[in-house]
Amino acid sequence: MPETTAGAVAKRLIKIREEGGAVALGRVLTLVIVADESDVEESVDAANDASREHPCRILVIAPAKGSVTNRLDAEIRVGGDAGASEVIVLRPSPVLAEHPDTLIMALLLPDAPIVAWWPSEFPASPSTDLIGQMAKIRITDSMRCADPLEALKTLRSNHRPGDIDLAWTRVTVWRGLLAAALDQPPYESVTEAVVAGDLAHPSVDLLAAWIAQRLKCTVSIERNHAANAITKVVLRRKSGDIALVRPDGRIATLSQPGQPDHRIALPVRELRECLSEELRRLDPDEVYGEVLAKGLARVEASQ
């Protein structure tokens, strides 16, 4: 739909539903994706996969760079290539893109929560962004930014309840495995911990910060240019170390004193898995907020 309006897109959606039988019934949320053109297809694919668990309307705002006229081009996808969702891709000119909230107002599902997602670069303060102010949950991905660790610092400075970063979601399984290991005898305190991984992967810092905040111990980070995300966590205790090691990004080995080693499938989580997990929550992650505010400072103090 070249040179259109949001109102015209909304009317076209109604017509498509009437003619083809595609309905919005059962949609549980509106997912608003603010992306560069280069990120659109990957983001929509991930959202479509997630929509099979969380049926939604997907609104993509991809500003058309270089356009000098005030125009809005739109694309509607329904049916097989849209998963269990309706996908509307809006490509506004730079001037129209300055007011993205007005572009999507006519396209929001009534009485459904709004989730905002920035697949790569994101505003310095997602909660005060025009789209962020409308959203119940605001999803970022510091790992996909040009400077991931600097992006993590920005998130820490401007965090508000409802903000979440997919770099944190990527460590969910690691946190579960480590917590389960510590829940077994002899229930000793951890005196020191080591987290190793990719040189600039923010998940390494977030996992280290979670350990430091939860266990109140010194945590050091070992960074490796050739690492694949997180490669190792060692928790030091009086009776011996607990070590969770994943050198290849697929299979991890869990070693504990007095027990045989356990091999565990622990592949690097895909984007669709992380997005689906956050759409499942739809409430503020208080632990993430605590890790950002306090845990990172503990790790910095111990380096």
Q: Which residue has the tokens 């299979």?
A: 251
The CATH number of the domain where 287 resides is what?
Answer: 3.30.360
Which residue, 165, 195, 214, sits at the end of a domain? 165
58 & 203 share domain:
no
147 & 204 share domain:
no
Instruction: Answer whether 102's CB lies under 8 Å from 132's CB.
Output: no
Q: Which residue has the tokens 């917590």?
A: 179
Residue 1, domain member (yes or no):
no
The pLDDT of residue 182: 95
16 & 148 share domain:
yes
The pLDDT of residue 22: 52
Instruction: Answer whether 56's CB lies under 8 Å from 87's CB.
Output: no
102 Cβ contact partners less than 8 Å away, ≥ 6 residues apart: 6
179 & 135 share domain:
no
Residue 17, domain member (yes or no):
yes
187 & 129 share domain:
no
283 & 159 share domain:
no
Which residue, 165, 199, 217, sits at the end of a domain? 165
Give the relative orientation of helices 172-182 and 202-215 as an angle to the nearest 10 degrees.
30
132 & 193 share domain:
no
Instruction: Answer whether 129's CB lies under 8 Å from 153's CB.
Output: no
55 & 198 share domain:
no
The pLDDT of residue 80: 64
Element (H, E) at 236: strand 230-236
52 & 62 share domain:
yes
Which residue, 165, 187, 211, sits at the end of a domain? 165
58 & 80 share domain:
yes
- What's the domain range around 219? 166-303
User: How many whole angstroms separate alpha carbon 91 and alpha carbon 70?
Assistant: 11
229 & 116 share domain:
no
53 & 189 share domain:
no
Tell me if the pTM is above 0.75: yes
- Strand 230-236, strand 251-255: pairing: unpaired
From first to last of its 303 residues, the chain has per-residue pLDDT tens of: 888 888 999 898 888 877 765 554 567 899 999 999 999 999 999 999 998 888 899 999 999 887 667 889 999 988 766 566 789 999 999 889 899 999 999 999 988 999 999 999 999 999 999 999 999 999 999 999 999 999 999 999 999 999 999 999 999 999 999 999 999 988 999 999 999 999 999 999 999 999 999 999 999 999 998 888 999 999 999 999 999 999 988 999 999 998 999 999 999 999 999 999 999 989 999 999 999 999 999 999 877
Residue 124, domain member (yes or no):
yes
